[in-house]
Amino acid sequence: MRVLHRGGVPVSFNQGSMAEPSVKFAKQGNVGIFTLNRPKARNAVNAELAAEFEAHLEAFEADDDLWVGIVESSNDTVFCAGADLKSINAGKPVFTAKGGFAGFVQYPRTKPMIACVDGAALAGGCEIVLACDLVVASTKAKFGVPEVKRSLIAAAGGLFRLPRKLPHAIAMELLLTGDPMTCERAHALGFVNVACAPGEALKEALALAQRITANAPLAVREAKACVDEMTTRNMDQADFKRSNAGFGAIASTPDFMEGPLAFIEKRPPRWTGQRSKL
């Protein structure tokens, strides 16, 4: 059994004494580093990862000596592949009550967070990136929301955060085709703050974090709070409500079952376009 501390309250995870944590957390000066740590599962989000991520966020937010966060990956080819279908099929949540998907995308953070991407950030992985304030990515990175290819929609923030962070037509291209975007294109469009060579993303993310931590931490936090409240936070709850309603509407259709089944059977899906079974 492993114990983390959530807001000063111990939180236990029954993963066995030898189990690796699904999310590692380390401190480097005034920077907190969150590492998604399910490399063999392409860092897909399961119940344990979501719970641990939120617990680390609680501790990060409560620590006055930590001023900036970085989210990175232990997998050198995939930042995060999205939700773990095995966890979903087992009826285990990939979200938390406070943080939403991955325990992160809806978490009410007060401190800046940098996404450090050195591989593919797809589906829910891209939505984790979208929930961050800044993005550092290597040229090996790519970003995409391929949910429509499986009769799903990007309901963990992608539907409204992509059009806020990218030109409308580009966001629609990603959402409606499901095709990924390269790091180079994302950087040219202002989605990525710093583009770098493969293997250099964490070093560059720490350098960006240090540029922020050189400033007064409370002023940085207040600047973030003002921007969030004036541009996004007051809209997020309504947007998540609508996204969830859209996901529910899709979930009642035959194609909702066909998409994952075709993926498992490694064949092209046979769409019907029907709202309900005849």
Q: Is 147 a catalytic residue?
A: yes
The DSSP symbol for 94 reads S
Token pair recorded at residue 193: 């703050």
Q: Give the closest residue to 160 by CA, choosing from 232, 103, 247.
A: 232
Alpha-carbon distance of 278 to 272, in angstroms, equals 11
* Maximum C-alpha span of the chain: 63
Token pair recorded at residue 112: 């800046």
Which one from 48, 127, 258, 265 is the annotated catalytic residue? 127
Alpha-carbon distance of 247 to 240, in angstroms, equals 10
Q: Is 127 a catalytic residue?
A: yes
Which one from 52, 54, 58, 147 is the annotated catalytic residue? 147
Element (H, E) at 42: none
The DSSP symbol for 41 reads G
The DSSP symbol for 45 reads B
Active site residues: 127, 147
